[in-house]
Amino acid sequence: MKNFSYINAGSVAAAIRTLSTKGSILHAGGTDLLGCMRDEIVPIERVVSISGLKELKGISAQPDGGLKIGALTTISEVATNASIAEKAAVLAQAATEVASPQLRNQGTIGGNICQRPRCWYFRGDFHCARKGGDLCYAMDGENQYHAIFGGGPCFFVHPSDTAVALVALQAQLAIAGPAGNKMIKIEDFFVGPDKNIQKENVLAPSEIVTAIHLPSVSGRVRSSYRKIRARRAWDFALASVGLVLQFENQNVSKARIVLGGVGPYPWRVEAAEKLLIGKKIDGAVAAAAGQAATEGASPMRDNGYKVQMVQGAVEESLLGMA
């Protein structure tokens, strides 16, 4: 690993100032950053750590009934927090499915949504298009874990479990930067490769996600997260489904269905959502929604299995909720 300097920022403002120096990168829990540094994915001269900032840690109820999750809150805390389990089960379940207990204890939710792609060419010795080269090696290479939605000119899949749940929950992100503070919808945070092949989100180099806000819920809302992986031990999703449904009597009145492991960002499937509105979930409705969830899918040579996997996962998740 190349030598680098390490700066322990005493405040968000100090971190933002230091990050504006070329070659600097933000450090939260370090579980993804360390691998990126070892693999020399990006040239890094200065690591700016916010890991000691208490004001970015913890989960609190908000006056409007929503929840605020500090960006440095560990994934373990998100997985086990009683308010999140009660108001946002999809997020608690997604956090529980992240990596291993050690990684959940060290990794933060802010770092989880900002982690870099896991494409094996990107992490390996390949100067692929995402690293500034000319080629996407996955196009004609080993692409069994790559995108079936939103691919081209890069075909990576976003690796975060919690991001899928947060999009399903319509979370907002608080971002601090040189120009001040702002809030954005999480759906506006991620960037597809058609817009920018070298970035996964809209953050400028010296901007920091400081918190995640979950809106309040009213009425009969239920949610769930289902993840399919190649093995039961820690692994990234081959496909996953985040589901948030609101019911009136026995019928669905609002629906959010978001897929993970299949596109460059959490992939919302509006066709499947629309199909559920006004209906009671039974076998036929769940199967139809599963089919609708893969409308527009464009599998590569080796990942066609993800189409049936998504259909089955959506169908099963809906039946589980019914």
The answer to whether the beta carbons of residues 163 and 209 sit under 8 Å apart is: no
Pick the binder of ligand SF4 from 145, 149, 156, 267 (CB under 6 A): 156
Contact status: 129 vs ligand SF4 (CB under 6 A): yes
C-alpha span between 77 and 207 (Å, rounded):
24
Tokens of 175: 């971002």
Q: How many CB atoms lie within 10 A of CB 23?
A: 13
Instruction: Provide the pairing of β-strand 59-61 with 239-248.
Output: unpaired
Q: Which of residues 8-27 bind ligand FAD (CB under 6 A)?
A: 25-27
Q: Binds 155, which of ligand SF4, ligand FAD, none (CB < 5 to 8 A, cut-off by type)?
A: ligand SF4
CB-nearer residue toward ligand FAD: 230 or 277? 230
Pick the binder of ligand FAD from 18, 77, 90, 161 (CB under 6 A): 161
C-alpha span between 322 and 319 (Å, rounded):
5
**Coil, strand or helix at 126:** coil
Stretch that binds ligand SF4, among 75-83, 91-99, 119-127, 216-224 (CB under 6 A): 119-127
Tokens of 311: 């259909």
Within a 13 Å sphere around the CA of 273, how many CA atoms are in the beta-carbon half? 18
CB-nearer residue toward ligand SF4: 136 or 176? 136
Stretch that binds ligand SF4, among 73-81, 153-161, 201-209, 270-278 (CB under 6 A): 153-161
Tokens of 83: 């308010």
Nearest to 78 by CA among 49, 105, 115: 105
Interface with ligand SF4: number of residues (CB under 6 A): 14
Pick the binder of ligand SF4 from 15, 16, 154, 272 (CB under 6 A): 154
- Give me the least distance between CB of 301 and ligand SF4, in Å please: 13
- Give me the least distance between CB of 114 and ligand SF4, in Å please: 16
What strands lie across the sheet with 67-70, from one edge to the other? 59-61, 67-70, 208-214, 172-177, 180-185
Q: List, in order, residues 6 or more apart from 133 with CB less than 8 Å away.
A: 126, 127
- Give me the least distance between CB of 32 and ligand SF4, in Å please: 15
Footprint of ligand SF4 (CB under 6 A): 117, 119, 121-122, 128-130, 136-138, 146, 154-156
Q: Which residues bind ligand FAD (CB under 6 A)?
A: 25-33, 35, 71, 75, 98-99, 103, 107-108, 110-112, 114-116, 159-161, 203, 208-209, 234-236
